[in-house]
Structure 1
Amino acid sequence: MDATAAAHRIKELSQEIEHHNRLYYEKDMPEITDAEYDALFRELQQLETDFPGLALPDSPTRRVGGRALEKFAQVRHSTPMLSLENGFTDKDLTDFDDRVKRFLGLSSSTTVAYVCEPKMDGVAVELVYENGLLAIGSTRGDGVTGEDVTENLKTIRAIPLRLKTAEPPALLTVRGEVYLPLAPFQKFNQEREEAGEPAFANPRNAAAGSLRQLDSKITAKRPLSIFCYAVGLCEGIEFDSQSHFLGSIPKLGLPVNERIRLVNGIEEVLSYYRQMMEERDDLPYEIDGVVVKVDQFALQRELGEKSRSPRWAIAWKFPPRQATTVIEDIVPQVGRTGVITPVAHLRRVEVSGVMVSRATLHNWEEMERKDIRKGDTVVVERAGDVIPAVVKVLTEKRQGNETMLPIPLTCPVCGGEVVRIEGEVAVRCVGLACPAQLLERVKHFASRHGMDIDGLGEKYIEQLLDLKLIEDVADLYTLAEEDFMKFERMGTKLAENLRTAIANSKSRDLSRLIFALGIRHVGEHTAKLLASAFGSLEHLSNATVEELTSVREVGPQVADSIVDFFRNEENREIIAKLSAAGVNPKAEEKRVGGRFTGKTFVFTGALTRFTRDEAKKMAEQEGGHAAGSVSKKTDYVVAGADAGSKLEKARQLGVTVLDEEEFLELMK
């Protein structure tokens, strides 16, 4: 492919990928599969690698992060990013309204139009668009100068790299709040704890930490989002009010909070505040108040500023989510993945309108760092989680009889083995039959990518557990149809179908069983590698760390996790029960010392005689390895129609190129 053709294809791919991004992220209406999307994305990445000078400034590949920085550069804001005056009571708001009217020379009976906005608890940033392209993105900093985090902001999918208009303004500066939604925040914290990393105290800290990563690839992995709320300098576009601005920029692709309201008079502001207080705990993101702004920009300019805050706006904060109480007990709790977490049982206390009696202490290392003990008087906070967290200990209130909770030596639920992997803070139960983990383990075991037991969903698994019909995943294979007839609203035909589905799963591939067992760090891809390398569950269960790390892509951490799993006696007993029940997985067919051992294949273009997955499996069965990109280490490129850049690169590197017929001939 020459440069002209590459430029055309790069533009075409960029537009197509952005189209699919909008369908997926904005409308939740994807038109293509993830695999098809990934193929388009990889093709664009490869073209930009081959023709770096042709990469577009708003390429979708900018979302994945670039070269790590040594430090952030400083950026001076176009106009100061001012702080807001805070209000905490109804009187603070009515006083604000009185001041606005007095300063503007309006009578006390005049009704002022205000824009009310949820006050996001995130990180303030400034986005500068030049001729429609995102040129600079920076943090608020001290209000005058911030840090250049452009590359990190480009990874946030909600931020358009190019404004969605055919006639972009010459300059548009927009302010917004970067935040981490609550559900991803909770999942993110759980993953950090399981990986042995300290949890973030709240979504704002997580967002700030993510945005200030020197390596933008790390930021790209974190599901940050943004709401825009203010305008700075602009040329080629005009707004006469805050409501006009907020109503216009979504057409440019800039997201705005859907709960913003234009109201008339301070009574409607008070009503909006109370409504947001009621909705606060149901929102998918964290807010800590509402922001009230005079709507008309002409009136804002007339009101002006005082020191470092505008006279035309106020932040009305919600009551604090903190309270002081006493830890009456500390109890270890086992999560669905086996992680054991110390949980504080509190003397009941009201925190922002909700009575709470428990607080997570995250892990023993965090508990030791904060020196949290049973009997302590503590400050607790509800922020970004259902279970509150302990913010700090009031050590001055100690009586001398407070006690620490030691790390458990056995699982508090099943009494099984507890491990703490070196370098991690998480303490976990590794027992496969631990009741605290059983629901999630059975769901994973029966899932589509596991043993694929059709129809055995969560509601049926819950009934199996409630009726005490199973104690581990192996017990699924001992169930009779009459067991299923004990379920609510269960018919004979459905019971028969469930029993048949379980029986049919006995002959799944070995890789599926390995994945279904839920071994930590072993996903679908690694399970396939292990099945291919060891050929049976027996061989895998007796493998040493050295044998495991000799397998391509299996590192020491994964190897240690596998050895620990099979060393556990309960796990070995369950595997023996599976075997006794007739679960005899088929090993991946692969010839030992096959003709393509050590050879690397790349499949590209539109294949007609077989799918790419089928072709990869054919190569792997003969000992080969299927890669996603062409390099000097590639031995064969199998090219179909419209092969594109991978074919061109193979020719440049002198890699052997085969068509489909030649590949099939090679297989004979």
Structure 2
Amino acid sequence: MFSYRLPALVFISTLFLAPPAAADCPDWNAEQAQQEINTLQQQITDWDRSYHRDGQSKIDDELYDQAREQLLSWQVCFANSSDIEPATTALNTARGNRQLPFSQSGLRKLNEIELQRWIKQRDELWVQPKVDGVAVTLVYEHGQLTQMLSRGDGLAGQSWLMHAQVISAVPQQLSTQAAKITLQGELYLRQSEHIQAQHGGNNARSQVAGLLNRSRLTASDGATIGIFVWEWPDGPTAMQERLNELQRLGFSESAIYSQPIKSFAEARHWRQHWYKSVLPFATDGVVIKQSLRSIQQPRSSYPPFWAVAWKYPLQQALTSISEVTFNIGRSGRITPIAQLQAVQLDDKIIRKVSLGSLAQLKKLSISRGDHVAIALSGHAIPQLKEVVWRSPQQQIIKLPIEENYHALSCWQASAECQQQFLARLNWLSNKKNLNMRGIAAKTWQALIDAQQVSRITDWLALTVDDLEQLPSFAKKRSVQTAQAFNQAKRQPFNLWLKALGAPAALSAKASDDWQSLAQLSEQDWQQRHFSQTQAKNLYAFFQHPAVQAAALDLQNHKVEGF
């Protein structure tokens, strides 16, 4: 209901778009702003052309709505208020040649705080589900259906009267003596056991629009479409009267899914109830409206002041890439991390998302400024679902050289090895390895910054006096750190092998020590029942110069097994 997506497109006036705060506007110069706006306008035009001409939806309804809101926001940011024009490119293809008897304009979307204020200033309120479908106007004259019109641009639409003949949910005849009845509602895709919180929108709106874009509908197609009447502009004055009469005329869902409310708490209850309940249609929020309306201007394209929308949490959020950074782990695995313009999903603020691997990053071909869809996976972990459109300012991201990072790289501190070296130290002190209590990334980073640790075993030589000389180490911290280091020296040989990063396949025997293992060839390892690959990795580990240097330090500090 009241959707942006064509042909159920709302005529959006920027007069009702709250001006973004300066902090919310991108830091673009005039040329870049124009390029970004033009790119998004063209992308929306392409989506609409595919939607209307070909009957294909190339973008999820929820993302489409956010893209249009983004365009309007940019227009407000980078134009004088007197120059702002509604984003009506898409409306050119939606407008029909049939004037609507009453305009169908979009509702203002309020957040929780705004809605609380709105409700406090009004009485005799009702709440309804915000059905996610295709808006339509039905006109009955002396009980006979004479027009079924698309929303079009909000003022003029196209005739769908031929389709009405096979949509069983739309009565062809009403039992009434009224000379004329005008109903506004939503044609929706009938759903079976649909729970919005679990299933989302399922692109139900696009599916209905695709059916209505056909030149002819079959009876079976028509049977999949329902109707929810949400307004009767020339009907009874009071809401309860309208609902009673609609039910008598055969539009029972209007009465079933309309509830009187007196407070914000009641509005919140019904919003949550319908979000998690089985409904016959997809929804994207609730509509709160006054019982008494003021329809003196049936040709107005402005949102009504007596009704507002409170949308559900987004299933997918649209945001942009501000940067791509790279996490390099102990084993040399490189994980690209997309840094995002902060966006809210459910109750989480998402600022970054893992891209998995360099291969995935290359496949996505992401650059700074690209706009992407973010969703939450099963355990509320953010995932990048797709690139929605690309920035015209293509900024190439410099990738790390993959060959430089592997299981035996970065045993020392350097600009290129900062992350992997720190990951090695963190692994070393982990409670499952040397169990250095109180020693974590911040401690290791402080020691690296103070140039006290540049190799994997430099910390072995640090004393309480050495630590107390450092800026961020007070007496208590220095004592605790030195105690953790001394305790680590007493850990058994097999834990030290694991802490140093020996291949996971290795399980040291009680009789093993460093010298005996370092003397083994690849063939010797295979004779110990390791595979050829495992033997190769074990031999490489024990022969690596940085590992041998660490073993010598451990021997000098009299660590067991070395």
| TM-score, normalised by the number of residues in structure 1 | 0.35
**Structure with greater Cα Rg:** 2
| TM-score, normalised by the number of residues in structure 2 | 0.40
Higher relative contact order (CA 8 A, sep 6+): 2
